[in-house]
Amino acid sequence: MIENLKKKAFQLFSGISLKRRLFITYLLLSSLILLLTSVFFYTASKKVLIKRAALSSQQQLSLITSNLGEKIDHISDYAITLSINSNIANILKENPTVPENELEHFLVNSELTNQAQRIIGLHRNIYAWDILDTENHWFHSSTTETDQLDSLLDPEVLKNLQTNLAFQFLGPFQISGEPTFVALKSITNIDNTKYLGALVLLIKETNISSAFRDLPDSSSRDFYITNEKRQILSSSSSKGIYKDFSSYTKISSDKYKTLIKTDRQIFSVDGTDTLFICKSYPALNWNVINLIPLENLPLDHMVILHNILLISIVVFILSVFFSILSTSTVTAPIQRLVDKMKSASTGKLNISASYSSNDELAVLYNQFNLMMQKIQILLNDIYEEQNAKQKMEVRLLQSQINPHFLYNTLNTIKSLIELDMKDTAVKAVSAMSAFYRNSLSKGQFIIPLHQELLLTEQYLYIQNLRYMDFVDYEITYEPSWEDHGTEIPKLTIQPVVENIFVHGLTSQMCHIHLNISIRNDTIFISVSDNGSGIPPEKLAELNRSIRDFKTARHSFGLPSINHRIALLYGENYGLSIESSPENGTTVTIAIPDTKSDLGGNIK
């Protein structure tokens, strides 16, 4: 179905005029470039805004962690001061457990309260405090809410208080319906480090989350504090406390781990791309995380988008204008050239086209004029070649039945009969019959190579009968030779062999060697003799006549063979001669090792 749609779209596009195609193509390309440029600038500006927002967030997180550090350090300082207060320690020495008598209990609490209030005063982060005795019972010095911690504090934590003197900050716990942090500090006897009890400070979660307040853009951002278990301890909106951060923000635990490692990531939250910025607070193994929805980035993000849209509209209008201008200046000269071509197709070849500009279309106009000139020249050359071809075919037909060869062969047969060599005479008659049958070849001009070799072999056999005391011959095939059904113009090899009997015989025995080989998809047919050879000046003249058939049109020998091969197979193929006086002559014919599609009568 898709292929059919593509085909129909291509046919529809091809059916419209060139002017409209150019206009549509130019407009589409301009729009595509404009779209890509707009997307690029929009994306780049968005990245800049995200980077700027991340930098601002990191600065805010640094300020938040600094505020948290100050708050917790302040609380820690108060806890340590109270834990080393000698008056409190003396009271606990005298009352290692909570007095059962209510009056004594009241008096002890009064003394503890007086001592603690001098130190804590109206500390805004600590809203309540209490003391545990050695048996983990509450004195209820300033509040009874600490009773709720009995079920919340891990027994191991209470047990460790007797040996662990470090400041501990736990929570948040749900106390009286509000999330509350708990600060613990052991109170010991300075003299013998004996455990006397523990100081417990209560800090509401809102006192911790106050570190998020009064920050730039805080209204459009969410801040969270998480522990090493991904639990939310505090948030700027006081929501999600006690919940798993990954589940609450709907990101996977793997993404959370990636965020902790990299400090900055962009995740999708409820379909909205959100920037997550993280900063660790190593003192308590906390992580402070800032969430910034990208859609809440500053207003200049929309300003950039509006400017890009405005520029895109202006550039699009200019693209339409230049598309119309460009297509008009291109198609008008092309249309004039098309009209000239239509005139040429009707047979008016003596025409030319003029174009005043120097652009690429001027090259097209010049090539058209040059083409028309070459067509005229080629028509004249074709006419002359046709005449030459007709004359060559007439001469070829005349040479197919050579009366002198026929007479000489008949005389040879007569002599064989008179010498009572009837079998040899019969073979000679058969060879002559086969020679003329193959030479006629049912009017075919192109024949198989093996048929041309057979014709030549029959000719050599007949001539050898006549010149048996002066000539011997052999036909060899190199190992690389293999007949692939290659075809060759008829009477190509035989005239070369015949030249040896006409020009190459001497008083000595003449040895004729016909060899067939193939190299690089080219068949080489070499005919060699050990005759008198060709003088250098005659060899040079003969080679020139072979190369330029027109200058030797009076000769129908080797130049005619070379010209036929060049016409059929190209200038890379043909005939070459090597010779030197007293060292014989070698004529090599090169033809391609492919079956010709020119077989049959050439008319």
Q: How confident is the model at residue 397 (pLDDT cuts 50, 70, 90)?
A: very low
Task: Assess contact for 220 and 272: CB atoms under 8 A.
Answer: no
Indicate whether 300 pLDDT > 80: no
Q: Which CATH number is associated with domain 84-209?
A: 3.30.450
pLDDT above 60 for 597: no
Segment 55-76 shows an average pLDDT of 87
Res 18: pLDDT: 60
Region 221-229: mean pLDDT is 89
Q: Which residue has the higher pLDDT, 321 or 456?
A: 456
Q: Which of these, 437, 445, 441, lies nearest to 390 by C-alpha position? A: 445
Judge whether residue 599 has pLDDT over 60. Answer: no
Domain boundaries, the chain: 84-209, 401-592
What pLDDT is recorded for position 233?
92
Say which residue, 524 or 298, is predicted with more confidence. Answer: 524
**Integer Cα distance of 368 and 384 in angstroms:** 24
Average pLDDT, the chain: 81
3-state secondary structure 111-132: HHHHHHHHHHCCCCCCCEEEEE
More confident of the two residues 541 and 412: 541
Look at residue 405 in the predicted model and tell me its pLDDT: 67
Q: Crossing angle, helix 449-466 and helix 422-440, to 10 degrees?
A: 140
| Residue that the structure tokens 């015949």 belong to | 498
Check whether 319 has a pLDDT greater than 50.
yes
Query: How far apart, in Å, are the Cα atoms of 95 and each of 165, 219, 537?
Result: 20, 51, 143
Predicted confidence at residue 598, as pLDDT, reads 44
pLDDT exceeds 80 at position 444 = no
Of 395 and 572, the one with more pLDDT = 572
| Number of other CB atoms surrounding residue 292 within 10 Å | 22
Span 256-275, pLDDT tens digits = 999 999 989 999 888 888 88
φ, ψ for residue 178 (rounded to 5)? -125, 140
Give the model's confidence band at 436: pLDDT under 50 very low, under 70 low, under 90 confident, else very high: confident
Residues 503-522: what's their mean pLDDT?
86
What's the confidence (pLDDT) of residue 373?
Answer: 83
User: Which range, 32-36, 256-260, 405-409, is most confident?
Assistant: 256-260
pLDDT at 401: 46
Q: What's the pLDDT tens digit per position in 447-506?
A: 888 888 888 888 888 888 878 778 889 999 988 877 778 888 888 888 888 888 877 777
Q: How confident is the model at residue 603 (pLDDT cuts 50, 70, 90)?
A: very low
Please name which of 198, 187, 207, 208 lies closest in space to residue 153, comparing C-alpha atoms: 198
Is the domain 401-592 a CATH 3.40.50.300 member? no
Question: Rounded mean pLDDT of 94-99?
Answer: 90
pLDDT-derived band at 43, boundaries 50, 70, 90: confident
Q: Of the given ranges (16-30, 360-374, 406-420), which has the lowest mean pLDDT?
A: 16-30
Lowest-pLDDT choice from 65-74, 212-221, 354-363, 560-569: 212-221
Phi, psi of 243 (to 5 degrees): -85, 160
Question: pLDDT at residue 229 above 50?
Answer: yes
pLDDT at 443 exceeding the cut of 70:
no
Q: What is the Cα–Cα distance from 278 to 223, expressed in whole angstroms?
A: 10
More confident residue, 378 or 173: 173
Please report the pLDDT score of residue 16 as a whole number.
63
Least confident of 55-64, 183-192, 451-460, 497-506: 497-506
Reported as a pLDDT band with limits 50, 70 and 90, residue 255 is very high
Question: How are beta strands 471-477 and 128-132 bridged, if at all?
Answer: unpaired
Percent of the residues in the chain that have a pLDDT greater than 90, as a whole number: 18
Cα three-residue angle 368-374-380, rounded to 5 degrees: 145
pLDDT of residue 21: 66
pLDDT digits (tens, 9 = 90+) for 333-373: 777 777 888 887 777 777 788 777 776 677 888 888 888 88
Average pLDDT over residues 8-14: 63
Q: Is residue 408 over pLDDT 80?
A: no
Whether residue 80 has pLDDT greater than 80: yes
Number of C-alpha atoms within 13 angstroms, CB side, residue 73? 8
Quickly state the pLDDT bin for 508 (edges 50, 70, 90): confident
Mean pLDDT of 432-441: 72
User: Whose CA is closest to 574, among 584, 563, 586, 587?
Assistant: 563
CA separation, residue 9 to residues 2, 3, 4, 5, 151 (Å): 10, 10, 8, 6, 77
% of the chain at pLDDT higher than 70:
84
Q: Which pLDDT value is given to residue 488?
A: 87
